[in-house]
Amino acid sequence: MGTDIIDRLVGIEPGSPLDAIRGRRPTAREQAQASYTALFAPEAAGGVSATERFAVASFVTSLNGEAETAMFYAAGLAESGASAGLRQAVDTAIVAATGQGPYGSFPTGPLSREDTPGPAHRLAPDTRATLGPRLAAAFEHVHLLVFHPRDAAPAALQPLLDAGWSTTDIVTLSQIAAFLSFQSRVVAGLRVLTGAL
Amino acid sequence: MTDTILEPPPHAAPIVFTRALLDWLPWLEPLAVEALTERHMEALVDAGRAKSAYFRLLARDPGALKARTLADKDIFYNQDAGLPRAERELAAAATSRFNGCIYCASVHSRFAATYSKREADVQRLLDDGVGADLGERWNAIVAAAVALSATPISFGPPHVERLRRAGLDDLAISDVIHAAAFFNWANRLMLSLGEPAET
């Protein structure tokens, strides 16, 4: 198996039926991988450290319920040099944040009957202290993206700015959470399809 | 200098899902058109996207934007067999309806309606939601997109079986998976970095 992350996480062997199917959309395959590289091994890290990227990834993929993918990013977090204490805090945050989505409210009007209210996540004080202000703000924000993105509002960005995330950092953080929502689902979907071929 | 949240100008916000043309107003400062370098332009892929506040905001991370855009185009525009374009757009619209992205749903319901010529069915998806009865083939595609979009992900063998019974081959099923998965990416960016406005 090559280094393509989706192939690796699904278990797609060269020459297998699913390898051939992915080969029919070669640019999608190559650019899904390029997205991973851009977000987790960028040419320039910019304002977001590797540990921050992998900590958020570990949190998001666990909440998505994609165990293999989550293990991959947890390993990446360890390789990024994250301390045992930080890794423990990420695991604690995952357990406390597990839930079901999508929920949230629509703009007031005819869609209000579809509103499914649910919580904005707040980390436990000791988890927050170990994660530090930047990662704590990031975790609370990406919880919104994972479970109830339709509750997003401009004010939800203020805690990130207050914790030192720049506009450009927030774009990268949002791309990480959003890309992993894609990657986890491609992996989960193709794994089911492989089992059915 | 600390960055700040943008105050969108006064506008009418859509309160229902619609196939009408909407605008999108950013909550964070996009790059200025005149600040776009060659690298940014390459990340935008189509030069015309420099007009879009959404793409100029995403251009702040050009590597991520470029790969996102090229993946998007192949998932939806690659014409080599698989799922017809109309039904890739249906999966995108259903995902957006389920997650609650009024802007994304507007764009991709227009495409689904244009390519399928089934305006009434597409409008029913928007009006009644992902439980609307659109005929078995479309119902199977919508159900697969919804199960894949749930958190935690709840897509399983019964969804693949139902798609097969509805006439989709393995490449077409892979296209459903990719189209729905991609809109879980797109919806989260559009919903969390800005808001829709009526034009």
Contacts of B64 in chain A (CB under 8 A): 35, 38-39, 171-172, 175, 179
**What pLDDT, in 10s, does the model give residues B74-90?**
999 999 999 999 999 99
Q: Is A110 on the interface with B (CB under 8 A)?
A: yes
Q: Is A196 on the interface with B (CB under 8 A)?
A: yes
Contact yes or no for A175 and B189 at CB 8 A: yes
Stretch 70-109 of chain A: residues touching chain B, C-beta under 8 Å: 99-102, 104, 106-109
Q: What DSSP string runs through chain A? A: --S-HHHHHHT--TTSHHHHHHHTSHHHHHHHHHHHHHHHS-SS-TTS-HHHHHHHHHHHHHHTT-HHHHHHHHHHHHHTT--HHHHHHHHHHHHHH---B--B-PSSSGGGGG-B--PPP---HHHHHHHHHHHHHHHHHHHHHHH-GGG--GGGGHHHHHTT--HHHHHHHHHHHHHHHHHHHHHHHHHHHHHH-
Residue with tokens 């019974």: B165
Q: Is A12 on the interface with B (CB under 8 A)?
A: no
In the prediction, which pLDDT does B1 show?
Answer: 52
CA distance B116 to chain A (A): 22
In the prediction, which pLDDT does A1 show?
Answer: 40
Q: Is A16 on the interface with B (CB under 8 A)?
A: no
**What pLDDT, in 10s, does the model give residues B146-181?**
999 999 999 999 999 999 999 999 999 999 999 999
| Average pLDDT value for chain B | 97
Q: What type of residue is A84?
A: A
Interface ipTM > 0.90: yes
Q: Which one of A171, A176, A183 makes the best mutation probe of the B interface by having the most chain B beta carbons within 10 Å? A: A171
Contacts of A168 in chain B (CB under 8 A): 60-61
Stretch 37-96 of chain B: residues touching chain A, C-beta under 8 Å: 57-58, 60-61, 63-68, 70-71, 73-75, 78, 80-82
Q: What percent of chain B has pLDDT over 90?
A: 99
Q: Which chain A residue shows the shortest CA-CA distance from B25?
A: A154
Q: What is the mean pLDDT of each run of 10 residues along chain A (197 residues)?
A: 86 96 98 98 94 98 97 98 98 97 97 96 98 98 98 97 98 98 98 90
Q: Is A32 on the interface with B (CB under 8 A)?
A: yes
pTM above 0.90, yes or no: yes
Q: Is A149 on the interface with B (CB under 8 A)?
A: yes
Contacts of A159 in chain B (CB under 8 A): none
- Smallest CA-to-CA distance from A179 within B189, B46, B147, B52 is with B189
